[in-house]
Chains A and B, each alone.
Chain A
Amino acid sequence: MGGSMLAITGLSCGYGKRIVLREVSFAIKKGEFVGVIGPNGSGKTTLLRAISGFLPLRGGTISLEGEETRHMGRRYLAQKVAVVTQAPDIMPPFSVAEFVLLGRVPHWGGFQLLETTNDRAIAEGAMEMAGIGHLKERRMGELSGGERQLVFVARALVQTPHLLLLDEPTAHLDIGHQVQIMDLLRELNREGSLTIVVVLHDLTLAGLYCDRLILLNEGRLRAIGPPEAVLTKGVIEEVYQTQVTVMETPAGGRPVILPVAGKNQ
């Protein structure tokens, strides 16, 4: 753990006239693995978009490594922050290697047309790391959901970011692929000392992997802290409006959240 990676104070943000996030403040240190949880529409994706600069801020400030992001150029910010969005609907006929190499674009000169050998080496490394080296020549449209998600993570790694933001990287994946993605993120976090902020819907998965959790509710920060402190029966039942049973994992004592059938309030 090092100095400050991300410092957010009094953040308000939204789309057009609709304000989604109000007065959100928190800080993330270098090397942290932070999960963002909350019900649908609570502002999780909006928070990622605010951090990545995609949405203009209505109020407050976001600082990345001590520098305000609003003063940063697009390219410069993209060299520091990589984003894995929820997979786009239309995919042009890129091969996996071509797609992953697009992650080098923020590092290119203004009129650079061809990738360097260094770019290729970084892309090869990222594909090996994500375990998709064998898919290089395949077209993006031919991949399964799990493979696609790994390719997206590989492209983000190729940006050599300091901060990696992911929006529900495990959505629509089977349990094996969920663990594969989360294990990869943990490895990047621990061995590559990459700071990770990941939006997750699965509370148990979030508790299992994240150092800290940020719980959003109706656009406000409801709780922040280690999983045991955030994932309590009282907080979850209040925020999600449904009854749950909270148990502990056999090893490690991480919280496990089970829904109770027929008890939606």
Chain B
Amino acid sequence: MGPNSKAWWWGWIVFLAGLLVLVGLFSLGVGAVHIPLRKVLQALAIGKGSPEYAILFEVRLPRILLGLAVGGGLAIAGVVLQGMFRNPLVEPYTLGISGGAALGVALNMVAGGPTGLGLFSLPASGFLGAAGVMIVVYLLSAGGGQIKLSRLLLIGVMVSFIAASLIMLIMAMTKVEDLHGIIFWIMGSLQEPNASLIWAILFISLGGLIISLFFAVDLNALSLGEEEAFHLGVEVERLKKILFLLASFITGCCVSVTGIIGFVGLVVPHMMRLLVGGDHRKLVVTSYLSGAVFLILCDTLARVILAPTELPVGVITGLVGGGLFIYALSRRGAAL
């Protein structure tokens, strides 16, 4: 079967979806309290009442759902941006969105927001920071109604650096307790007590998946370059704006809830390109699924390796993702 036959890529989707279910079940079972698969399935079937119910449905399942939403969301943001910029080093955090979110959260913590306004103020301030950066980057690079991609990229990188410097400034001048909070937020975690926030992110990320899929064909054309896309009848300027806003919005939402979980948006699109090729219709779907699998798996590892101590999930994504990717590259010896 060739790489173009429908069966071949449906095979990948079914395989990855199956993997997602397996990883989800595995993640439900392991942790500080081990719950065997039989009991997991029992609790799933019976529902409320069993002793494991609280752990499964109030602690682990929300985490898995958040991992699915954020892993998938960051992966498609990476696919969209790498395709649009035709640059394999671009990832969802390149354009400064994450820096803006971190800056918003850091300011909020220093100002005493979490104690005064409650924990919900953290994602809110993160989202405001991300949105602020998104607007600044967009306005600065959209001179004369046209977005120049090289300019957009450079401005994004510069805004990232400015945000990082401001965060360091805040950290240098702040109290030790706040410092700890800021560092932990930046390292990222899938622990989120607010269930409605998790549902909101899941909804946004699945919506992002559907919208990306609708633009996947145009993205195929754009990945050949702007002139080529133009000659294939694509409204290039409109498309660039939509894709930038889409990727930034997904990234901003994910980051403001979970903090900066690195590597998913960079490595997953690459791995999928090695496996399924350059067609963004396939890339968007397979990246979403494998991004979800990857992040849930990494988060599970982060929970169990030194249980009951939890490692920062960003450490695991970096180690596992980087290692896997180097392995895949050296095995295939393939050009990207």
Contacts and interface: CB of A to CB of B under 8 A. Distances in A.
Interface of A: 49, 52-54, 74-79, 81-83, 85, 88-95, 97-98, 102-103, 105-106, 108, 111-114, 136-137, 139, 141, 159
A78 B223 contact: no
Contacts, number: 88
Given A88-B224, A90-B86, A98 B277 contact: yes
B231 A85 contact: yes
Contact of B86 (A77, A92, A98, A113): A92
Nearest to A114: B281
Nearest to B232: A105
A113 B281 contact: yes
B224 A95 contact: no
B231 A113 contact: no
Interface string B264-292: 00000000010001110100000000000
Given A95-B2, A113-B217, 18 more contacts: A52-B230, A53-B230, A77-B233, A85-B227, A88-B224, A88-B225, A90-B225, A93-B335, A94-B277, A95-B4, A98-B277, A102-B221, A105-B217, A106-B233, A113-B213, A137-B2, A139-B277, A141-B335
Interface centre among B214, B227, B336 (most CB of A within 10 A): B227
30 contacts: A49-B227, A74-B230, A74-B233, A74-B235, A75-B233, A76-B233, A77-B233, A78-B231, A78-B232, A79-B233, A82-B231, A89-B225, A90-B86, A92-B220, A92-B278, A93-B273, A93-B278, A93-B336, A94-B277, A95-B4, A98-B4, A98-B220, A98-B279, A102-B232, A103-B232, A105-B232, A105-B234, A112-B217, A137-B3, A137-B4
Contacts of B58: none
B151 to A, nearest CB: 14
Nearest to B87: A90
B214 to A, nearest CB: 5
B192 interface: no
Contacts of B86: 90, 92
Contacts of B223: 92
A111 B214 contact: yes
Interface of B: 2-4, 83, 86, 213-214, 216-218, 220-221, 223-225, 227-228, 230-235, 273, 277-279, 281, 335-336
A88 B235 contact: no
A233 B216 CA distance: 53
A167 B225 CA distance: 16
A59 B281 CA distance: 40
Nearest to B231: A83
Contacts of A159: 232
A49 B273 CA distance: 32
Contacts of B224: 88, 91-92, 102
A159 B218 CA distance: 15
Interface centre among A53, A74, A89, A113 (most CB of B within 10 A): A74
